[in-house]
Amino acid sequence: MTFLIASAMLLINVVMVEFAKRDLVQAKVRSAQLLIRALEQNLIQLSSYRQRDLSDLVSEVQYEKSLARLLDEGNFSGAVIVGSRGEPLAAAGSITKANTLDSFLAKRAMETRMGSINYSGSTWGVIWLSNKNFSISEPVSLEGRSLGGITITGSLTPIYQALRKSEKVILFYIILDTMFIVLVGIYLLSRIVVKPIHNLLRMTDAYEGGEIALLFDETSKNEIARLSRSLSNMLKRLDENKRDMKTHISSLEKANKELRQAQNELVRSEKLASVGRLAAGVAHEIGNPIGIIFGYLELIRKGDISEKEREDFLDRIQSQITRIDRIISELLGFSRPSSAEVQDIHVHDVIRDTTSMLKPQPIFNEIQIDLALNALNDKIRVNPGQLQQVLVNIMMNAADALSEKDFENDSEKRLIIESRNKDRSINIRLIDNGPGMPDEELSRILDPFYTTKDPGKGTGLGLSVSYRIVEGMEGTIRVESVLGEGTTIIIDLPLSPDAENVEEGK
């Protein structure tokens, strides 16, 4: 503020000085013009009274002395008078008859019968450089007849000197006025603006809710009072919004909890449906080993076998029991509720365990399962039970699709499981050569309760649940299919940080 006020005052001073300089210069010029008019009238009167030529009048020594006295009184530098033929007749002051420039200006005024003002030289004015000298030329004529011309010169330096003396006084008052205005302005701003704003800042910093005390009367109309009222209204709205937000957050947390419970129930129900379907296949699968065991036990009971045959039968019975135990253990392991904890696992191990569990199923008897696990890094951080459920859902869907397609005698049903590394993730592809599906079904295959199976053979939740599970693992799942050629399920899962470090180290 001080800088702006001082700049404004100095700018006003510059403008005032320039106007004063212009007025003083113009006054000086007008004074010279009046002197020329007086000389012209004097010459004309003398010429008419004495009936003599202009050249005779000004050539008198007494006249040049009178001209010099007039120049001194008017504070002019010099003057020159030329005759009707342009010859210098008289000169006074700093001008001599040999000064061709001033004589030329007087002659030109006589010839053109027009006056002129000329400035020359440069000197330090008041604030910057200005003209140093001036010269005024005017014609002398009588009854339309040109008698000659006059040129008067003067210096502008005395004007600049007088202004510079006045400028010192003006600058003193400018400094004094600036200090007074700044001090008064600081006091008023501090009292009217700064202190109330600081109070508002302190109140807003200390605000923790509830009403805010107003600094001004409700009827006050100044800007700070309006700001205080606006701030109070804003903080009231913030309180209301905070209460509404807490209510919404509470309801959202409750809805989110219910949604998670519903999703968990949905995942468990789909898992139980898969367990029930697998259990039916297991019951059929363990029927053959049990029959074999009964047969060997019957032979042992008859007792007409050698000790070596008896040992061989017992080994075979143990082998079949081990087979049954493995099948049941795998089913029980899959059906057991999985913990919510995530851990670092190897995808290839989960794929192999899932394939081993599903191979005994009757629906997979005619399906050739090929593993092409080419990923160098298969370590991910997920819930292993959920990942196995995703693989079971997809492989069971593939088996159902393969069972619906009629294959030629030289063709076989195939399910290929591939893995590869892509950027910082592992890409898993489950490819079957089943019937495929058209585009209109492909766009809805991940929707809940959508199924292409006959009624009673599927809930339509398998792929939808798998999609939700993979999404929760921060992965993606998508489906590609060509009608009549087969379907490919593509799963992308991010590698664990340890696996990423190994990849970068290589």
pLDDT tens by residue, 90-114: 788 877 666 678 888 888 888 888 8
Examine residue 18 and state whether it is found in any structural domain, yes or no.
yes
> What is the DSSP secondary-structure string of 239-275?
HHHHHHHHHHHHHHHHHHHHHHHHHHHHHHHHHHHHH
Domain count, the chain: 2
Q: Does some domain include residue 266?
A: no
Kindly state whether residue 463 falls inside one of the protein's structural domains. yes
- Inside any domain, residue 289: no
Position 159 in a domain? yes
Are residues 286 and 306 in contact, defined by beta-carbon separation less than 8 angstroms?
no
CA proximity to 103, closest of 60, 67, 153: 153
Asked if 126 and 163 count as a contact pair (C-beta separation under 8 A), the reply is yes
8-state DSSP, 496: P
Measure the CA–CA gap between 268 and 435, rounded to whole angstroms.
30
Cα–Cα distance for residue pair 413/363, rounded to 1 Å:
11
- CATH number, position 38: 3.30.450.20
Token duo for residue 398: 């593939």
Answer for the pair 122, 132: CB distance below 8 angstroms, yes or no.
yes
pLDDT of residue 339: 55
Residue 66 included in any domain: yes
The pair of structure tokens assigned to 405 is 């397609």
pTM (two decimals): 0.42
Q: How far apart are CA 476 and CA 497, in angstroms?
A: 18
Q: Which residues constitute the domain of residue 75?
A: 2-173
Query: Which tens digit of pLDDT belongs to each residue from 101-151?
Result: 888 888 888 888 888 898 888 888 888 888 889 989 888 876 667 778 888
- CA atoms of 365 and 320, how far apart (whole Å): 19
From 157, 173, 189, the end of a domain falls on: 173
Q: Which of 121, 142, 173 is the C-terminal boundary of a domain?
A: 173
Distance CA 58, CA 187 (A): 72
172 Cβ contact list (under 8 Å, min separation 6): none
- Divide the 506 residues of the chain into consecutive groups of 10 and give the mean pLDDT of each group: 82 86 89 85 64 56 76 86 79 72 85 87 85 88 75 89 85 86 85 77 67 54 72 78 85 79 62 58 62 72 73 74 68 58 88 84 83 91 84 85 71 87 90 83 58 46 72 86 86 81 42
The closest alpha carbon to 331, from 379, 388, 296, 279, belongs to: 279
| Buried/exposed code over 205-230 (b: 16+ C-beta within 10 A; e: otherwise) | eeeeeeebeebeeeeeeeebbeebbe
Q: What is the 3-state secondary structure (H, E, C) of 1-56?
A: CHHHHHHHHHHHHHHHHHHHHHHHHHHHHHHHHHHHHHHHHHHHHHHHHHCCCHHH
CATH of the domain at 397: 3.30.565.10
The structure tokens 């196995």 sit at: 388
End-of-domain residue from the set 173, 193, 208:
173
Residue 30 belongs to a domain: yes
Q: Tokens 């006003």 correspond to what residue?
A: 12
- In this structure, is residue 389 part of a structural domain? yes
